[in-house]
Each structure stands twice: as structure tokens, then as C-alpha cells.
């Protein structure tokens, strides 16, 4: 990828919002078309994409924090077999939850996941909230996870930003050298909302896959980029 990014700096207007440059509409539409077409042909077959169960998606999102997909896949299935519902997880002894989680590492995630389950049982009648705003009221849920659950479980049209999404959006629309100081998390969430298409589910998943497989941090395969 060139230092100007795949779409080029000329695609960014000098005007902006909240200090964030604004891409030209044609650049946004072109990125949508190319990236979504690439995703439909190359998307990874992941079990949490085949369900709309918000509990199963919550489990996957917590597991994927700081852990690679290949390590999560077997443990995701095992964990849901042991604790198939939110109520099962909430009622289980914490020691059993941690024991089931141990091979993934960062075991406090298991404690936090069970705490979320218990809060949902106590305060939401066992139903995981369906908006990012309400999900953020759950202790241990951050902005990315709230947006991911709202989008992937409930098909809400909401932008969300993790490390992969941040990197891909920045490189495609803003380039590697612009700005010298990277956008803040708040600015990137605003930016992601601005470029969000109608099909938020496939778009967010596509950005995740693009960042994980082609637009990687250390060794991006720019010749294979769908917007090259």
C-alpha cells in the first residue's frame, strides 16, 4: 500500500466534522462496492456468524478479545456445550466457568462474562439488550462489543471499531501518513458512522476479515486489496 492509502488522499475533503476529515461520497460508494463484493466471495466461515443468538455472539466477542480465531474456535464450541444458555452460565459456579476457560488465558474475561450474564438475569429479565446504548450499561461491555452485539445479533445499523476496523478504515480513506497524529478512538467511531453503508452487518464483518487476512498490521498484502 502506498503512503497515501488505497483510495488516495485526494478522496478526502479538507472539510470535516469534529476534527475528522470527510471522504468524498464517490470514494465511500466505491469502497462499499469493492469491499462488500470481496467479502461475499472470501468471507470466513465462522460459527458465530451462523447464529443470531445474542448470548452466543457475546461469548464469541469476549473470547476474541486478545485471542486469535484459530484458538477460539474449539473453545467456543466447548464452552457453549457446557453453558448453552445465559441462565446456565449465570447459575454455574465461577470455578467451573474459569476451569472451562483456562486454555484461552486472560481468565478474568470468564469472570467478567459470567458477571454480565448475572446482570442480564437480574436487571433485564434474562434478555441481552438490543441497542448499543443499553449494552453499554452492562459492566464489562465496551463500545466495540456493544456495537458488535447490536449489529451481529440484532442487525442494528451501527458502526463499531476494533483494531482491525480502525486500521482498515484509516488506510483506505485517510492513508498511512494522514494525519501525523492518529485519530482518537472517539474520532474513529464518528468516522466509521459516517462511512457506514445500509448493510452494516456485512460491512463490519468485511472490515474485520480484511484486516485479519489482507490489511494486516505488519505485512499487508496490498496487491490483493479489493480497493487497490
Please give the positions annotated as active site.
61
What's the rounded Cα separation, in Å, for the pair 24 and 7?
Answer: 10
What's the rounded Cα separation, in Å, for the pair 72 and 119?
Answer: 24
What's the rounded Cα separation, in Å, for the pair 79 and 192?
Answer: 32
Q: Residue 178, exposed/middle/buried by CB under 10 A (0-12, 13-18, 19+)?
A: middle
Whether 111 and 89 have beta carbons less than 8 Å apart is answered as no
Q: CA torsion sign, 156 to 162 to 166 to 169?
A: negative
CA distances from 188 to 52, 103, 171, 182 (A): 27, 33, 12, 9
Identify each DSSP E strand in 41-159 by its residue range.
Answer: none
Amino acid at each position: 500500500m502506498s503512503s497515501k492509502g488505497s483510495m488516495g488522499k485526494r478522496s478526502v475533503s479538507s472539510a470535516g466534522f469534529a476534527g475528522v476529515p470527510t471522504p468524498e461520497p464517490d470514494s465511500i460508494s466505491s469502497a462499499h462496492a469493492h469491499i462488500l463484493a470481496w467479502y461475499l466471495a472470501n468471507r470466513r466461515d465462522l460459527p458465530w456468524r451462523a447464529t443470531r443468538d445474542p448470548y452466543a455472539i457475546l461469548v464469541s466477542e469476549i473470547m476474541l478479545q486478545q485471542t486469535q480465531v484459530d484458538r477460539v474456535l474449539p473453545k467456543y464450541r466447548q464452552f457453549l456445550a457446557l453453558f448453552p444458555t445465559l441462565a446456565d452460565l449465570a447459575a454455574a459456579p465461577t470455578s467451573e466457568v474459569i476451569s472451562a476457560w483456562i486454555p484461552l488465558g486472560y481468565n478474568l474475561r470468564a469472570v467478567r462474562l459470567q458477571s454480565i450474564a448475572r446482570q442480564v438475569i437480574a436487571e433485564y429479565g434474562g434478555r441481552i439488550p438490543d441497542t448499543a446504548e443499553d449494552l453499554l450499561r452492562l459492566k464489562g461491555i465496551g463500545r466495540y462489543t456493544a456495537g458488535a452485539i447490536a449489529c451481529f445479533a440484532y442487525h442494528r445499523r451501527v458502526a463499531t471499531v476494533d483494531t482491525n476496523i480502525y486500521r482498515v478504515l484509516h488506510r483506505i480513506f485517510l492513508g498511512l501518513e494522514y494525519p501525523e497524529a492518529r485519530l482518537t478512538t472517539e474520532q474513529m467511531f464518528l468516522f466509521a458512522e459516517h462511512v457506514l453503508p445500509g448493510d452494516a452487518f456485512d460491512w463490519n464483518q468485511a472490515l474485520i476479515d480484511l484486516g485479519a487476512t489482507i490489511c494486516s498490521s505488519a505485512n499487508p498484502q496490498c496487491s490483493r486489496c479489493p480497493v487497490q
